[in-house]
Structure 1
């Protein structure tokens, strides 16, 4: 189990905060990793894997024009899926993640494979946002993104 996730779990429990995830590129990895610490039921509400754009629009209520204008892997769509999640899962913190862990999405010179977007909302207000470019294969990029979410939570919860 990842050490930073254990630390985040302790903080969430101490602060009596709950968390939920809207995951595109990480495809459920965040939820799985955050379920590992003891007493995960005290803070983890759950999540939605919205890998396909139709789930972003149909379930999370993301305007298709935002997806068309900015691409499914963008800061704007990441914020929109986090916001959409606030209407589906009752939690204190909602985190959305999109990105490009592998070729075949909307990669460009400015947004290469490895670019990942994270957006967190706490109690209805933007909590933090992050764009980071990771290197390595898909597995490494996804694992590094999970670690990045844990680091950002530690930083912003303390």
Structure 2
């Protein structure tokens, strides 16, 4: 099974599905990698890079109290970001990235390399996946992009 961006674009096109992204940690790198593929315009609805709590709330509809009480690095926020992207772009499938690229932990103590991916699909339960990555800021971000695309490909394999 191919899990790269080409596979995501091909499978989404075959199924007539539109994809969106909601990115904090990766700041738009996931959608950028997807749109490198010819034909992506047929299946990519859009991508939101929402770094601040305020942007996550205003753009993606993530509950401000959840962010205030729990921070941004958890399963609930990753899922809410993905669901927000589904609504924002009227998409069928959305992936979200949130985490700590470093250096060091975030202000709440989440360790460098702690990453959550959220996946939302119309008519299906939202899921999330926790990752523990290493290798410094650039590598953590790049690996997150690869794993987010792989998660989309796996979802489209079903």
Task: Assess same fold via TM > 0.5.
Answer: yes
CA 127–77 in structure 1, closer or farther in 2 if over 3 Å, else same = closer
TM-score, normalized by length of structure 2? 0.89
Match of residue 126 from structure 1: 125
What is the aligned-residue RMSD (CA, Å)? 1.8
Which structure 2 residue ranges, 5 or more long, are not aligned?
Answer: none
Match of residue 37 from structure 1: 37
Kept after mapping to 2: 8 A contact 1:120/1:127? yes
Q: What is the SS of the residue equivalent to 2:84?
A: helix
CA deviation after TM superposition for structure 1 residue 140, in Å: 0.8
CA deviation after TM superposition for structure 1 residue 87, in Å: 2.3
1:1-158 to structure 2, matched below 5 A, reads 4-102=4-102, 103=104, 105-106=106-107, 108=109, 111-158=110-157
Kept after mapping to 1: 8 A contact 2:79/2:126? no
Query: Quick one: distance in 2 between partners of 1:62 and 1:127?
Result: 14
CA deviation after TM superposition for structure 1 residue 85, in Å: 2.0
Report the number of matched residues: 155
Which structure 1 residue ranges, 5 or more long, are not aligned?
Answer: none
CA deviation after TM superposition for structure 1 residue 105, in Å: 2.0
